[in-house]
Amino acid sequence: MSAGLTEEGPRLVACADAAGLVLRLFGGVAIWLRSTEQTRQALGRDYADLDFVAHKSSSRQLRELLEREAYVPERVFNATHGASRLLYHAPDQSFHIDVFLDQFEMSHRLNLGRRLDTEQVCLPAAELLLAKLQVAEINRKDLSDTAMILLDHQPADADGPGLLNVAAVSVACSADWGLFTTVTDNLAALADIAGELPIGADQLETMTERAESLRERLEWEPKSAAWKLRARIGRRKRWYEVPEEVTR
C-alpha cells in the first residue's frame, strides 16, 4: 500500500464537497476503500496514483481547487486533453492524480457522469467493476481488483455499501456489443485464474458464484438494436480501442 493515498483520496473528495463540487474516487484505491479488511489483506496491493471522476462543467473550479492544494498540473497534457481528462502531480512528486471528466475512455467508453453522485466518496461498485472489466488486454492486477469487488459486494438491483448493482452493469453491456464481449471475456479470464488467488475456499466459492451470476445476467438481459447489429459482425472486426499511452 502506498502510504497516505487511502487518506488523501477521501480528503480531496471532502475538499471538493466543501467547495460545492462533485468529485469521486475510482480505480484501485476506491476498490480498497470499499473492501473489508479480510479482502484487503488477501488482495490489496501498492497503489501508485489516485483516480477521480468529476463533471466536465466543474473543470475550471476543480483545477483551481487542486492548485490551491499545491498539486502541480501537467500543463501540456491538460492543454491537449483537458476537455476529458486532467493530470496533476503531488506536491512532493510522489504520486499523480488522474481526473476523468464525465467519461472514462480506454478500451471502451463508459459514461460515469450520470451516476457520479449516487454514492459518497467513491463511485458505485458497478462502475468500479466496469472500469476494470472493460480492459481488452486485461492483466492480473485488474483481475485481482475485480475479485476484490466481487468478494465484498452482494449482487443486487441497487447501489450502496456492500452492494453491486448488476442492473447498471447489464444495462451498459446490453447497449454495447463490444463492451459486453470484453466484459464477458474477462469474467471467463477471472474464472481461469481464480484458483491461483490467495483467498480461502469459502471466498473462492463466493467470488465464483457472483461472477457466474453476473455473466448469466449479462447474457439474458434484452439487447439494443445497435447491439444486435454489431453482433452480426462479431470478432471479425476489432471491437475495442487501443488506449493511448500517457506520458507523465
Q: What is the pLDDT of residues 11-43, one digit of tens each?
A: 999 999 999 999 999 999 999 999 999 999 999
Can you give the pTM of this predicted structure?
0.95
d(CA 226, CA 234): 13
Q: What is the mean pLDDT of the chain?
A: 96
The pLDDT, as a whole number, for residue 1 is 42
Give residue 217's pLDDT band: very low, low, confident or very high (50, 70, 90). Answer: very high
The pLDDT, as a whole number, for residue 243 is 83
Q: Distance between terminal CA atoms of the chain?
A: 21
User: Three cell numbers at 51?
Assistant: 483516480
26 DSSP assignment: E
All residues at 6 or more sequence positions from 197 whose CB lies less than 8 Å from its CB, including other chains: 42, 43, 144, 147, 204, 207
93-134 residue pLDDT tens: 999 999 999 999 999 999 999 999 999 999 999 999 999 999
What type of residue sits at position 3? A
d(CA 133, CA 130): 5
d(CA 39, CA 235): 36
Burial 15-31 (b: 16+ CB within 10 A, else e): ebeeeebbbbbbbbbbb
Q: How much is the average pLDDT of 179-184?
A: 98
